[in-house]
Each structure stands twice: as C-alpha cells, then as structure tokens.
Structure 1
Amino acid sequence: MSGRGPGGGDHHPLLSWAIVGIAAAVLVVFTLAWAGGTLGAWVAGHGWDAPPFALSTLGDLVSSGASGPWPGVPAAAVYGGMLALLALPALPGALTVRVLLERAGRQKGLAGRGDLAAMCPKGIAARARELRPSLEGRDRLHADETGNLLGDLMPNGPELRSSHEDVELDLMAPRAGKSTGIAVPRVLRAQGAVLLTSNKSDVYAVTRAEREKAGTVWTFDPQGIAHSPRAMWWNLLGECHTTEGARRLAGHFVASVNDDSAKKDFWISAAQNTLTALFLAAARGGAPVRELLGWLADPADRTPVDLLRDAGLVAMAEQLQGTVRGAVETRDGIYETARQTVSCLLDPEILAWVTPDPRLPEFRPERHVLGHDTLYLLSKDGGGSAAGVIAGLADATMRAGVVAAERMGGRLDPPLTAVLDEAANVCRISDLPDLYSHFGSRGINVVTLLQSYRQGARVWGEIGMDALWSAATVKLLGAGLDDADFVQKISTLVGQYDVRTPTVSRGKEGTSRSYSYRQESVLPPDRIRALPKGTALLLATGVRPALIRLRPWYKEPGAGAISAAAKAETAAITERAAARLPGGLGLEQAGRDAAPA
C-alpha cells in the first residue's frame, strides 16, 4: 500500500497500516470503556442506561470523565466496571506472555514443566499417598511429607521433589552448595529418623537445634570434629554374631585403607578373612574390643580359635588356625595388614566410643530407625581416620532400616533419611552400589554426596561406580565438574536438538527461502563445567534432563532462627575446641578450626 504526500513524495509503506492500527486500538478501548462503564452503573443500581455509541460520548468521557456519559453515577462504580472488563482480555494475554517467556528462558532440549509433572507438587503428592499408608485419608499434606526437595525448575519454577522411593547421587565440587543446598535442607526437612555422615561440623552446627525439637540427637564424634563430649556408645561387635555381620564389619575396616574395593590383593583379602574370624570369636565369646586387639598383636594366642570351637564354628576355627600355623612370613604379613586396617582402635578416645559404658546410653540402630531421632557420624579423613567405625555404624543403621521395613510390610513410614556426605572419605561401604536400589524400595532415602565421579571410582572401582550411577534414580550434577571425559559423557547423555538455518536465494524469478537442519548439543561440555554455583543439572529416571536452582537453607522461611541457633552452636564448638587444645593456640585459632564452612 502506498500513496502521495502533500509535497508530492511517497508515504512510508507502513504509515497507512499504522493509522489503521491506531484507529482499531482506539475503537477496542472505547468499546470496552463504554460497555464497562455501563456495566458499573448497572451494578451500582442506576439501571442499564448506555450512552450513545458515538464519538460524542468519547469526547464527553475525555473532557468530563465518568460524570459526562453517566451523570449521577459514582465515578468509582464506572471505573471499576471498566477495569473489570479490561481485565478479561488482559488475563489470558498475561498468561500467554508468561508461557512464552518461560519457553524463551528455558534451554532448548531440556525438560519443562509438563515433562516433570510427576515431580511437581500435585504429582509428587499423589505418589506420596501411594507410598505412605499413614497419609491415607488426609485432605492436606505438608510439602515435606510428599517428597524430598530438590530445587526449583529454571527459570521460574515450580519446585521439584523426589519421591520417598528415590535414591540420589550428587556430584559437586567443594563449595558448590552441597552442604547449604542439599545436606542441611534434607536434614531439616526430614520426616522420620536421620543419619548424617560428614568430616566437618558445618551441617551439624546448623541443624542440631532444629533436630532436637524432633527427637533425640545422637552425636558420634570419636575424633572431635565438633568437639562433642562422649554421651553415647555403640557396640561395635553387636552385628558380629553372624558370619555375614562379622564379614561386613571387617570389610568396612578394609575399605577404609583400600582405595579400590575391586582391587584386593592377597594381603587385603587374607586380612579381611582373619578379621572376620576374630570379630566373630569376640562377639560369640563376649570378649571386648580391647581383647580382640590383643589377639591381633599376638598371632600365637589360641583364645579366638577356642572361642570359635566353643561356639560350634569349627570351619571358621580351622581356617584361623591354618593362618596362624602357616609360614611365619605369610602369617605376620596377614596380621600386620589386619592391624593396619583397625589401627584407629588403638586410639583410646576412639575405642571408648565403641566400648560398653554403663554410665551412658547405648545407641541401638533398630530403635533409631523407628522414631524421629538424629544420628550424626563425624570423622576425619586421611591418616588415623575412624572411617571404618563410621561406615560400620552407618551400615548397621541402614540395614536395621531394611529389617524394620520388612516388618512394616515392605517400606518404612515415615522414611529414614540417610545423607552420606563425604561418603568416599568417611563412609566407605564397599557394597553400597549393590544396596542402593534396595534401599529405595524399603523407604530409605539415601543421598550420597561426592566431589566427582572419579572420586567414587577410586573407592568402588569403575564397575562399582557405574553400578552406583545406574542404581541412583535421581542424580544432581552441580558446579565445578572438571573431569573432561565425564563431562563429555554427560553432554552426550543430555543429547542434541535440531537447529533450523534459513537460506534466502534471490534471482530473476524472485526470492526463495529454504531451510537446512543441523544438530547441536543441548549442553556442551564447557557449559556443564561452568554451571553457576547454586544450580544443578537434574537427571531423573524416565524424564529428560532439566536445570534446577538449589534452595539453600538460609534463603528459606525461618532461616533467621536457624542461623541464630547455628551461631550459638558454633560458639559452643569453639569453646570446647579451645578447652581441648594445648596451651598457646588460644580461642581465636580454635574458632577458625571449628567454624562451619
């Protein structure tokens, strides 16, 4: 469309369309104002007396306001009717804009709200009612009763939760939000009993006061991570009355010094067999751990062999006696390896935590899993670590949960929450990959936190880590994953999407447009490595990958009171640390050592 201007020049081609558009907009707005004002007057009790639908009415409205077309009608009623009518087309328009913005802000190829419906509030609540009989018949459920909070779907939500039958594996670099965005919220929001392992006091300091409101807090701190005074004991040999229990405990001590459970040499395997026999003899014979250490120090001591025979375990007694009567060099090598695996028990402070003490309450795993109590398992990593003891107690607690679930009909209700922070350092359960999916089916919500895939492979081997990865129904990959091979595999796993490229051809016959397609990675490796802190890539079974924003505890409602309690707990840790330190270091140094990360 074109025309001639007053000076003989051509109009801009879009000018005429602009005039038509403005006229149409004025007509639409006037129509809504006319109908809305009349509706407002009618609602106010002045009857349906519409002014003429003409330009004169528009002029009166502009010059005199509501009193022009509708004399005697309150202006509030007229303008209220107009706004009500204007809101009718505005509401669907706003919803449409919101949907378009969400689609524009979401990375192509990743899951959206519809893909994750089963993890959104309605879907996860429906699943919770199926899994937890105690929720039957209740109209309203608290969000934390329905599942475990993962975070908010980027860019604008909703919040996503895993179900009570999911088991989780999280890989994030240090200071990427593992504690603040995962460990602390899981402990604070847990509905049943809690088990937490860690090599730092930060999660303990933040959550202890809140968990005391739910039930008894048990702190197992043999190496003084939180400098907590000993107020409990656990019978290390309590699970060793069967060959299976004794072998599992021996395996935990062996795993604490063996970086790859899939690569056990002769000495490691023989040491585990010997420890199994000694644990079994001590448990059946009622001997304390201190006496067991004496048997390790003196291979010629026949006491464990005799105890096994008295208990009717003749084959086990013969095997142990065969080891003792073997070549001296071989026997000494086996016993020395066994001594190294349990060397942490030579520390009297660690030994006291696993020795019966009539003055203190005994921690009973089978009771813990049925209530709302909290168990903190704290240990250092590296030399002198009590990791074998920590793994043994964590394993005993989770296996007690399995037994309790079987007695309940198959699933714990409420579920047991087990947060295995720094699992590769302080909680090396050698067959954890094999147990993972089994825990989920029993209502034991296990969350294993690792710094990288390679760290897990160092402990469980490549095959074991692959099994753990496959068994985890929910995986969160956070900031700082620097393993190039692993990140490339994740990029391949996330997949690709089609990119349409237009091509315009101009010739004598006119202009033609064609399209070609190519595939690009949804998330290239460099983008996965550069995920911002506080975000994570969610890989859940049965749905496309999604990007989520973690919900750190200090940004949630009630964070002020929790923060104040955490500061008080940190101050108490600092005081206890200062009291235990040798002279000269002072309170300031103790505070730096005990402060949460």
Structure 2
Amino acid sequence: MGRERRALLQVGLLALLLGAALGLVMLTEAMIAGACGQRPTAAHPFAAFQLLLSGSTAGYAPIDGCEFPVAPIRWLALGGLVVLIAGGTAAMIAYTRWQQSDAAFIADLKRRPGFASAREVRKYLSANAVLSNAKVLRPTLDRKPTPADVGWPLGESRGVDVYISIEDSVVLEAPPRGGKGFRVLISAILDWSGPLITTSTTNDNLTASYRSRQQRGTVHVFDPQGVSGLDRTLRYDPIRGCADPLVASQRGRAIINGTALGSSTTNGEWAESAATILTTLLHAAAVGNKTVAELHSWGSSPGLARGAVDILRMDGAPGWGDSLEAVLDGDPRQLGAQWFGVQGAVAPLAIPRIRENLTPRPEDEPFDPATFLSGENTLYLLGSSSGAGAMGGFLSAMLDDIVEVARKIALASPGSRLPLPLGLILDEIANMFRWEALPRVMADGGGRGICTLVSLQALSQAETSWSAAEATTIWSAATARILLGGAGDASHLRDIEALLGTRERRREQRSWNTEKIGHSVSEQHEKIALMTIDEIRRMPTGLGLLTYRNRRPALLELDGWIDRKDADTITAGKKQLESEQQTFFASRQ
C-alpha cells in the first residue's frame, strides 16, 4: 500500500471514529430532550459517554419533574455501535476483496505514469488522428472521408475511441479462448471498409460476420475441406493463369511453401527443387488445357509426368520441356528426394471433394482478383494444415495471387495505393499454412493500401511456421501490437516488459536508532517496470495492451461484438446461418 493511500485510510478511520462519537452524543441528548421536553445541560464534555458507559446521569444537570431514560438510551446506543461495527467490518472485508479483484488491478494500472494519457490517445489513436492522413491514405476518394474509410475501431482508452490506421500492420497475440475473436477479430471483419480476405481454421468468425459482409458486397467462401457448412462455396482453379511462366513460377512456389516441406527450416534445398518441378507441371497443365486431375497424376509419380514433357516441348516456354525431362532422367535417388515435395503438395487432390473444389464447372464464373479488389467484397479462406486433405499450399497460392494483383493495381493508381484498401485479417494462419510473403507484406504493404492483421496464440507459433528470424520480422514490422492476458511464454513476456518501459516509484524507508529513542525516515526514488511479467500475464478479460509505433503503450477496454449497436442484426444473421450449417452437417451425416 502506498504512502498516500495509507494516509488516506488513516484520515478516513479517524473521521469515522469522530463521527461515531459525535453521533452518540447527539443521540443521547436528543433522547433526553424528547423525554423531558428540553435539551439537557452538560457539566463537562464527556457527560454523554459517562451516561452510556456507567449509566450515571451526574454529568447532566437535573431537569425538574423528569427522569432520564437511561436504559433505552444505552440499549439504542449499543445497537447503533453493533450496526456500526458490523458495517465497518463488512466494508473492510469488501475493500480487502476489492483489492484482489480485476477492477482494482485495472484501476491501479490506469493510475500508473507511463501509459498513454487521454491527450496522447486523442492525438495519435483517435478518429481525428486517422482522418488527418485521409488525403494520403485515400487519394482517389471523391467525398468527405469518415473514420471507417481510413481506419477501423479497436476499442476504448481513457474514454477515447481508439482507431488503427489502414496503413498500419497489426499483430494480435492471445492464448486459445482468450477472446481475440469475440473482442477484436469479428468486429474488425465487420468494420473493414474495402475488399477483405480473412482466414480461419473454424467457422466462428464466418458465422458471426457472413450476413453483415453480404450487405457490403459479394462474399466468397473457399472451403475445400467442408468446414463452413455451406452448400455452395467458391471453386478456385490453381492452373488458371499459369500459361504465363511468371505466374506459374509464383504459384508453384506459393503452393510448396504453404506445405509442411515449405515450413521446414532444414529442407530448403528440396523445397526449392519441388517448387521448380511443380512450376513446370502447372505451366504444362495450363498450356495443355488440363485439369487438376492430370496435375495430380503428374505430381504423384515421376513416371506419369512424361506426358507433361511433350506438352511443354510443343506449347510451353522454351526449354521447360527439356528441363523437366532432365530431372526425370536424372539419378533415381536424387529424383525421389526432389519429387517428395511435389507429391505432398498434390496429395490433397486425391480426395474427390477437394478436387471438385479446385475444378470450376462451366457455369461457374471464374474468380478474378481484379474484380474482387474493385468493391467491398469478402473472401473467407477456411482450412487446416493437418491430415491427408491439408490445403495449406493451395490456400497460400490463392492468397498470394490476390496480393500480387493488388500490388500491381496499387502501382498503377494515384499515390501508388489501392483505390480501396485491402484488408488481410489472418486468424490462425500459422495453423493453416506458411505464407512466405507475410513478412514482406507486413513490412511494406501499408504503403500500398494493404493492411495486415495477424492473429497468433504466441510468437513461438510463428517461429514454427516461419523461421525465428522471420517471426521476429513479423513482430517487428507490426506498427501496432495488441496483447491480451493469459500468455505463458516467460521469455517473450520478458521482452514485452522491456518494450513497455519503466515508471518511477517513490518508497519510504524507516530506520530505528537503538541508542536514541526514535526513528528516521528516508525517501527513495527507483525505476521499476511499467508492468511486470506476471501483471502482463494476468490482464483480465476485456483489457488489452497496445503498443503503437514509438508512442507510449495504451490500455485498451475491449468490448465483445454483442455490445455493438448493430448486435441484434449480427445475432439474427448468425442464427440464420447456424441453422443452415446444422442442416448441412446433418445431411452429410
């Protein structure tokens, strides 16, 4: 307990005792006046206490014809004291419990010097702050901008609504069931103004936001593993566009890097070989008008890939057929190692449902990234990186395709920015696939109108999918970092503790002198961590910690999406979609 709080408690206790004593005196004399018709005259200041303690009325001058009601006064005073003591005890217990509560913890944090003040929040993180850069962020906007045009609301700090600019890259770190979807991601999906791509291994975010995003534009769901519970989902052709050797090269690399081999830090050489082979197979399938069925056949066995050589020699890029044949005629032991990654990448195509989702029907309109980026459209990428049907490679390729098209559109637009900013809300991406371009997009995407929000359970999760250096790049490239309570990695929390900085604490030190009666008091000033590792870990639900650029950290109050003004509309859409999902899954069973 600090010196100020201790002094305040002592003053309060003294005031309570004085008030109780004064109340007893007033009670005693009021009852005497009521019984005798006049106020008694006290012989000394302690006459009332003499009556209450001993029952003696000698402290008051007698009143003719009236006997003081001593017994009722003493009983009523005793009852009052019992009530006062009971009330004081209850108040002390309640205060002690409050001191151990989340509310007291939050109140203590808010009092600490070192966190962003209300003035700082208004200056750097408010709606007006993001609007101040509207001309730069949205150079083609032909109307008066709103905060939603140049940012998205995150929560509240010091009574001010906090906004993150669309040029910021964001990392959200929270443990499983830590509330990141309920308090941050779903609202971010709902509020994004522009084309949006969001990933997830479950359909929680989809269920809560699907109907609302339909009010903004076209909604696509790419769900080859059947997670969404929707009857009709997007069909994506990974071969489309690969007649262009550059597109084939980018897509082949993205597919391999999105698999387990691509995420391995010790098999980089074999991943490169697999990407080269898959690139030639994609190019051959495109120029030969083949489907993913043929792609699967070629990739599953080097012997079956001979057909791709003939196509490449006839219609493919010069020399590509000879290059593939050289690989096929090479050392069989080397060939097996080179082909291992290709086999893993095309393995999901053996599952009929997945193969169907990668084979558009004649009546299906091809998915065009440029058309998607031209409106407030939404793409949900759902899948898992585990099991025989792991779709990480193809999900990575699709995401990579759209971002590359977005970059080209941005370079051809005023200010080298997308006319409509592209949002990438990547929930559980580390559990889905390794998107090789993520560190680069985090670092420079904001300057092109590509805002990335990556959700992680821990930084070590990113180190598993990417390398330790790439995970550090992702963390460092984020201009806004949001941390929720419950993290368990002590070394990472220690880094965050250092990142938050220090505060000054004033401490009294008392020393006693045995030779002379008395003591001396000295005051010391010391620097301590703004928040300790334990305090960061035990931040309560609804509280978040934001570090933004080179500003002081801010405490965030994060409400769930059910507290939004449009919560009733969201809930109605959620219930409707859940009913459809239940019907779908029941029919599948």
TM-score normalized by structure 1? 0.75
Letter of the structure 2 residue corresponding to residue 548 of structure 1: L
**Native 8 Å contact 1:535 1:549 kept in 2:** yes
What is the deviation of 1:256?
A: 2.0
What is the deviation of 1:244?
A: 4.0
**Of the candidates 208, 211, 218, which is equivalent to residue 209 of structure 1?**
211
Output the CA distance in 2 between the equivalents of 1:190 and 1:419: 10
Aligned to 1:171: 173
Output the CA distance in 1 between the equivalents of 2:246 and 2:498: 41
Output the CA distance in 2 between the equivalents of 1:104 and 1:334: 56
Aligned to 1:448: 454
Output the CA distance in 2 between the equivalents of 1:267 and 1:103: 54
**Of the candidates 276, 279, 303, which is equivalent to residue 279 of structure 2?**
276
> Residue 174 of structure 1: SS of its match in structure 2?
coil
In the alignment, does 2:502 pair up with 1:496? yes
**Of the candidates 288, 300, 308, which is equivalent to residue 297 of structure 1?**
300
Alpha-carbon displacement from aligned partner over 1:351-383 (angstroms, at most 9, x marks no partner): 112213112222111110111111111113411
Structure 1 segments of 4+ aligned residues over 4 angstroms from their partners: 101-104, 134-137, 503-508, 510-514
> Residue 398 of structure 1: SS of its match in structure 2?
helix
In the alignment, does 2:409 pair up with 1:404? yes
**Native 8 Å contact 1:379 1:385 kept in 2:** yes
Output the CA distance in 1 between the equivalents of 2:253 and 2:179: 31
1:506 to 1:262, Cα distance in 2 relative to 1, 3 A: closer
**Native 8 Å contact 2:148 2:191 kept in 1:** yes
Aligned to 1:538: 546
> Residue 132 of structure 2: SS of its match in structure 1?
helix
Aligned to 1:288: 291
**Of the candidates 319, 322, 337, which is equivalent to residue 326 of structure 2?**
322
**Native 8 Å contact 2:373 2:420 kept in 1:** no
Letter of the structure 2 residue corresponding to residue 567 of structure 1: K
What is the deviation of 1:266?
A: 4.2
Structure 2: gaps (5+ residues)? 1-13, 19-105
Output the CA distance in 2 between the equivalents of 1:480 and 1:258: 32
Output the CA distance in 2 between the equivalents of 1:550 and 1:104: 16
**Of the candidates 145, 149, 152, which is equivalent to residue 145 of structure 1?**
149
**Of the candidates 471, 474, 484, which is equivalent to residue 478 of structure 1?**
484
**Of the candidates 104, 107, 111, which is equivalent to residue 106 of structure 1?**
111
Aligned to 2:561: 553
**Native 8 Å contact 1:167 1:473 kept in 2:** yes
**Of the candidates 370, 375, 378, which is equivalent to residue 379 of structure 2?**
375
**Of the candidates 380, 383, 393, which is equivalent to residue 398 of structure 2?**
393
Alpha-carbon displacement from aligned partner over 1:178-232 (angstroms, at most 9, x marks no partner): 2112221111111111111111111111111111111111111111111212343
**Of the candidates 124, 131, 139, which is equivalent to residue 130 of structure 2?**
124
What is the deviation of 1:560?
A: 1.3
**Native 8 Å contact 1:197 1:376 kept in 2:** yes
In the alignment, does 2:264 pair up with 1:256? no
What is the deviation of 1:485?
A: 0.9
What is the deviation of 1:249?
A: 2.5
Alpha-carbon displacement from aligned partner over 1:311-369 (angstroms, at most 9, x marks no partner): 46344333322210112232233224311222111112111122131122221111101
**Native 8 Å contact 1:282 1:288 kept in 2:** yes
What is the deviation of 1:111?
A: 1.9
Aligned residues: 480
Letter of the structure 2 residue corresponding to residue 232 of structure 1: L
Alpha-carbon displacement from aligned partner over 1:124-160 (angstroms, at most 9, x marks no partner): 221234311355662xx5432241212111xx42111
Letter of the structure 1 residue corresponding to residue 431 of structure 2: N
Output the CA distance in 1 between the equivalents of 2:399 and 2:559: 27
Letter of the structure 1 residue corresponding to residue 274 of structure 2: A
Output the CA distance in 1 between the equivalents of 2:140 and 2:262: 43
Output the CA distance in 2 between the equivalents of 1:403 and 1:103: 50
> Residue 382 of structure 1: SS of its match in structure 2?
coil
Alpha-carbon displacement from aligned partner over 1:524-545 (angstroms, at most 9, x marks no partner): 1111111222322112112122
Percent identity reads 29
Aligned to 1:24: none
What is the deviation of 1:265?
A: 4.6
Aligned to 1:225: 227
What is the deviation of 1:477?
A: 1.3
**Native 8 Å contact 2:259 2:392 kept in 1:** yes
What is the deviation of 1:476?
A: 0.9
1:356 to 1:104, Cα distance in 2 relative to 1, 3 A: closer
> Residue 292 of structure 1: SS of its match in structure 2?
helix
What is the deviation of 1:564?
A: 1.6
Alpha-carbon displacement from aligned partner over 1:419-439 (angstroms, at most 9, x marks no partner): 111111224212311222222
> Residue 525 of structure 2: SS of its match in structure 1?
strand
Output the CA distance in 1 between the equivalents of 2:490 and 2:575: 39
**Native 8 Å contact 2:261 2:341 kept in 1:** no
**Native 8 Å contact 2:200 2:381 kept in 1:** yes
Aligned to 1:414: 420
**Of the candidates 350, 362, 366, which is equivalent to residue 346 of structure 1?**
350
**Native 8 Å contact 2:213 2:378 kept in 1:** yes
